[in-house]
Structure 1
């Protein structure tokens, strides 16, 4: 169920009164950007492709990133 609190509705509204007040509180600033960490799924996909290039066969689907890094390092050196 969606939250219907006052602040949620105020943040969704494009009313200039809310924009002015929320701007004073620090919201809706152009210099504020969300910091997104590396996507673990994307990193796992890249490591699987790298393993396939190095070893020549597809990796086991149950391996995590640490195991894949170890297997790639082992195959390289």
Structure 2
């Protein structure tokens, strides 16, 4: 059984307050940013599928998906 410490639970939390506190401590999270709106990755994946006709790689972040969609449209 994996130990569940405070830090592991806090790193999994979706609360942006954890992101700002843990970011100051050196633990960065790319999926949650304090004070910033998180782009809807599901909508971007659906748009990528609609525009290019194939499913996107699940390892791509929102910025990469948006860049590839813009490249395909442009």
What is the TM-score normalised by the length of structure 2? 0.48
Instruction: Tell which structure's C-alpha radius of gyration is larger.
Output: 1
